[in-house]
Amino acid sequence: MTTRYTKDHEYIRVEGDAGIVGISDYAQGQLGDVVFVELPSVGKTLSKGDEAAVVESVKAASEVYAPVSGEVVEVNSELESSPGTVNEDAAGRGWFMKIRLTDQSELDGLMTEEQYQEFVKSIS
């Protein structure tokens, strides 16, 4: 199991040929109280960097981008009724979607946990 991060604060936790995508704990803290999440449809094909989901706080809407290319194979529909789960447990129960990767090598361009924590330190 490998977790990688983007500079836009998405994470992908890869298990086999698929990965769980969400936003980092730092990102949920920056957003504040999440009040609405819009998820993609299962079966949707995404290219790396595409808008994959929308997360809205009281103040503003933000896009969640696909950290890798692939097909959406599952979404966390619990977020539609309990969007606050993103604040409570961003890395766990607050996941957004599962993507089947089309190109594992795209992961090489993303940050490791350690690199991401350094990145967060550099911007906060």
Partner 1 sequence: MAEPAHSDEPLLKTPLHAEHVAVGARMVPFAGYDMPVQYPTGILTEHNWTREHAGLFDVSHMGQAFLVAEDKSHETVARALEALIPADVLNLKPNQQRYSQLLADDGGILDDLMVTRVGAPGHEGWLYLVVNASMKDADYAHIEARLPKGVSLNRKDGLALMALQGPSAAAVLAKLAPETADLPFMMSADVQIDGIWSHVSRSGYTGEDGFEISCHAGDAAKLWTTLLADPEVKPIGLGARDSLRLEAGLCLYGHDIDTTTSPIEAGLIWSIQKRRREEGGFPGAERVQREIKDGAARVRVGIKPEGRAPAREGSVITTPDGREIGIVTSGGFGPTVNGPVAMGYVSKDASAVGTDLHLIVRGKPLPAKVAAMPFAPHRYKR
Binding site for partner 1 (CB under 8 A): 8-10, 23, 27, 31-33, 35-36, 38, 54-65, 80
Beta strands at 97-101 and 18-23: parallel, antiparallel or unpaired: antiparallel
In the complex, the smallest distance separating the C-beta of residue 9 from partner 1, rounded to whole angstroms, is 5
Q: 42 vs 58, which CB is nearer to partner 1?
A: 58
| 49-115-26 Cα angle (round to 5) | 70
Q: 62 vs 76, which CB is nearer to partner 1?
A: 62
Q: In what order do the strands lie in the sheet with 61-65?
A: 34-38, 51-57, 61-65
Q: 26 vs 106, which CB is nearer to partner 1?
A: 26
In the complex, the smallest distance separating the C-beta of residue 86 from partner 1, rounded to whole angstroms, is 11
Dihedral in degrees, nearest 10, Cα atoms 29, 31, 36, 37: -80
In the complex, the smallest distance separating the C-beta of residue 40 from partner 1, rounded to whole angstroms, is 12
